[in-house]
Amino acid sequence: MQKHLNTRPKTNMLIAILCFVFAGLQSSATETDTTQVIEIGGIKQYISISGEAPGKPVLFYLHGGPGTAVSAHKDVVTGELEKYFTVVHWDQRGSGKTLQLNETTAPPTFDQMKKDAEELLNFICNRFTTDKIFVLGNSWGTLPAFHLAQRYPEKIRALIAVSPVVSNLRSQQTTLELLQHYFEKQENSKAIQQLSDVNIPYSGAKEMLIQYRWESEYNGEGMSDEQFDQLLGYFQNWEKMWFPLYSELYKNDLERSADSIKCPVYFIVGKKDLTTYFKITEAYFHKLKAPEKQLFWMEDVGHNIPGVAAGKMQKTIIEYIVPRLNLSETIK
């Protein structure tokens, strides 16, 4: 089953891209917000717990990027959800406050990140004395989230995949061909020339930014040369830590590695998402075997749903997903 949700976010395009690369509600008297530093994978790692109260289900948020910790602006991303869930944010290895806690950090591997996520899952279940939690993954975060759902379905009440990365390789190839064809018809020589320099898989962060620039133009939000040059510095800095891991992801394709999940799965996808091409996501959704699944479309939204449509994302979870799981007695 699929649902279409209309939303027309108005946002500064430069801020939206920075959210992709790198991002207050009043609590009741019984709720507490805490932070904690724990040892995971042999290093100190930072978690933030918000909205904790007896009887609330727990939601584990896996941020995107890789490298884009959101705990510093969690009120924007999950503030509404904290009324209904105890929300755990984790600054992943190499990100945010976890990066600050460790003086020397080598570029993480995919295996390390999956093992870290497993340890966090077990820690959360023990910390809150619960058998099952919700897992919400965004973009890159959907890959360790799907790994958890496959390996520990008995511990996951539901997997919520926002802008899931089904296949980096197929998505980028398809999007590049679409953009080249479109800008050739538009006779945009600048776009044609720049896109001709893009290789899939990307050989570096500059190619990634070039493709993202023309994705944005295709979706109606232009990027000036000045903005491109500003962003290039951020992308190249990101590249030093994260490009080895990012390159690993080209080997991953959920159609092969996760064709079935033994827990409920819900997708929230932007209808204009060319970064993780929405049609590839839709095709995977239809093939995926799960005891319960649903796809929620966000009209007029691209890839960065938490950055440009966090309110709509949270409303979808609260109004459509929570009722399906009969949590009304525990969520007040």
Average pLDDT (149-156) is 98
Q: What is the pLDDT of residue 105?
A: 76
- Mean pLDDT in the chain? 90
Residue 331 has pLDDT above 70, yes or no: no
121 with 133: CB under 8 angstroms? yes
The answer to whether residue 258 scores a pLDDT higher than 50 is yes
78 pLDDT higher than 70: yes
- pLDDT(127) > 60: yes
Percent of the chain clearing pLDDT 70 (strictly above) = 88
Return d(Cα 232, Cα 22) in angstroms, integer. Answer: 13
**CA pair distance 327, 329, nearest whole angstrom:** 5
* pLDDT attached to residue 18: 44
Q: How far is it, in rounded angstroms, from Cα 20 to Cα 37?
A: 25
Q: How far apart are CA 252 and CA 280, in angstroms?
A: 14
- Read off the tokens for 94: 């190499």
Q: Record the tokens describing residue 293, joined without a space.
A: 């699944």
**Statement: residue 326 has pLDDT above 80:** no
Query: What are all long-range contacts of 72-76, with beta carbons under 8 Å and residues at least 24 apart?
Result: 72/23, 72/96, 73/23, 74/48, 74/50, 75/24, 75/25, 76/23, 76/310
Q: Which residues of 28-58 are buried (b: 16+ CB within 10 A; e: fewer)?
A: eeebeeeeeeeebbeeebbbbbbbbbeebbb
Helix (H, G, I), strand (E, B) or coil at 57: coil
Which element (helix H / strand E) includes 162? strand 156-162
Range 283-302 average pLDDT: 97
Structure tokens at 198: 């893009």
Distances from the Cα of 136 to the Cα of 85, 152, 264, 314, angstroms: 12, 15, 12, 11
Predicted pLDDT at 32:
65
Question: Residue 55's pLDDT band (boundaries 50, 70, 90)?
Answer: confident
Model confidence pTM above 0.75 = yes
Residue 304's closest CA among 266, 271, 270? 270
Residue with tokens 């939601």: 59
C-alpha span between 66 and 243 (Å, rounded): 9
